[in-house]
């Protein structure tokens, strides 16, 4: 219901391309509604500050965060990731051979829709595809090596605006729509959706945690969480959320998770990359 109200309040008349009209999917209209909802609900929060999650909502937390960020808990991961990024594979190639701009400052382009496979490819998936193409074993998608490597790549993109493209391709539109639906669908014994916390209740407390707004929530990934005592990826956070609502977590980087990341990242277009981040 909340989503319908938000969209109805903000959608403007547009001349859709034929494919958009036929599919009934209009990402740009969703984007305008999403942005309007959060900026009107939190008029005192500067737009770019939404990427700081709970620290944009709570002044006390913001002061703590500034103090902590003088000695960032994710700094070790950035250093480790840089070393990993620059270390050649056994065949002599490096990650730079797999990415545009040699892998520096490209975090804001992911996830992207791969027309060849017909699927959404996140940065984490792209990293493992690179490794496998060069005869290396893939990393675990939840933490450790993957978290460190993506922390470094995110760090090289800090300040760059999220720039997610949805091509006028029925498969891309279907992936976007599936991600949107996953975000708003209730699940688990608690009957919560992602939106229950991050659209309806940002800034409110759930136990000791201040809930982050959905707008810009992925710009800070990967994150160091005090609750984890270490770094974690987007997959780890999504699986953790599923568990917290007493639902069944999906496999890391499942199509469902990649699609919801596609949806949320598109909603954050134009907001700066702030990762790696730190959260309670």
**Helix 234-244 with 255-267: angle, nearest 10 deg:** 100
| Nearby residues of 13 by Cβ (< 8 Å), 6 or more positions away | none
Return the CATH superfamily for domain 51-280: Cytochrome c-like domain (1.10.760.10)
| pLDDT, tens only, 198-230 | 999 998 987 777 899 999 999 999 999 988 999
Buried b (16+ CB within 10 A) or exposed e, 264-280: bbbbbbebbbbbbbbbe
CA-based end-to-end distance of the chain = 30
The pLDDT > 90 percentage for the chain reads 79
* 3-state DSSP assignment of residue 107: helix
CB atoms within 10 A of CB 40: 11
pLDDT at position 1 over 50:
no
Question: Per residue in 15-38, pLDDT tens?
Answer: 334 555 446 889 999 999 999 999
Radius of gyration in angstroms for the set of CA atoms belonging to the chain, rounded to a whole number: 18
Annotated catalytic residue, options 6, 98, 194, 241: 241
Model pLDDT, residue 20:
53
Going by pLDDT thresholds of 50, 70 and 90, the confidence category of residue 68 is: confident
**Tens of pLDDT, residues 79-122:** 999 999 999 999 999 999 999 999 999 999 999 999 999 999 99
Element (H, E) at 64: helix 59-68
pLDDT exceeds cutoff 80 at 130: yes
Say what the pTM is.
0.90
3-state percent helix, strand, coil for the chain, nearest multiple of 5: 50, 10, 40
* Helix 27-41 and helix 2-10, axial crossing angle in degrees, nearest 10: 100
Cβ count within 10 A of residue 252: 19
- The residue among 239, 263, 262 whose CA lies nearest residue 249 is 239
Predicted pLDDT of residue 35? 97
Q: Is the peptide bond between 271 and the residue preceding it cis, with omega within 30 degrees of 0?
A: no
241 catalytically annotated: yes
Domains in the chain: boundaries? 51-280
């Amino acid at each position: 219901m909340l989503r319908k109200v938000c969209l109805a309040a903000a959608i403007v008349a547009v001349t859709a391309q034929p494919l958009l009209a036929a599919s009934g999917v209009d990402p740009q209209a969703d984007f305008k509604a999403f942005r309007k909802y959060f900026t009107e609900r939190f008029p005192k929060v500067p737009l770019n500050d939404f990427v700081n999650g709970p620290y944009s909502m709570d002044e006390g937390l913001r002061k703590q965060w500034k103090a902590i960020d003088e000695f960032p808990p994710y700094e070790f991961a950035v250093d480790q990731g840089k070393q990993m990024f620059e270390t050649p594979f056994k065949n002599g190639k490096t990650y730079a051979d797999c990415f545009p701009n040699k892998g520096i400052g490209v975090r804001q382009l992911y996830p992207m829709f791969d027309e060849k496979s017909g699927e959404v490819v996140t940065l984490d998936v792209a990293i493992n595809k690179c490794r496998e193409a060069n005869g290396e074993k893939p990393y675990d998608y939840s933490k450790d090596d993957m978290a460190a490597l993506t922390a470094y790549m995110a760090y090289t993109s800090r300040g760059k605006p999220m720039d997610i493209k949805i091509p006028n391709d029925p498969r891309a539109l279907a992936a976007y729509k599936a991600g949107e639906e996953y975000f708003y669908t209730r699940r688990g014994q608690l009957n919560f959706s992602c939106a229950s916390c991050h659209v309806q209740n940002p800034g409110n407390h759930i136990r000791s945690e201040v809930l982050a707004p959905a707008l810009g929530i992925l710009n800070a990934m990967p994150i160091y969480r005090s609750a984890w005592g270490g770094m974690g990826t987007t997959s780890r956070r999504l699986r953790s959320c599923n568990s917290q609502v007493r639902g069944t977590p999906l496999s890391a980087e499942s199509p469902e998770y990649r699609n919801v990341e596609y949806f949320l990242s598109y909603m954050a277009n134009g907001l700066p990359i702030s990762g790696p981040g730190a959260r309670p």
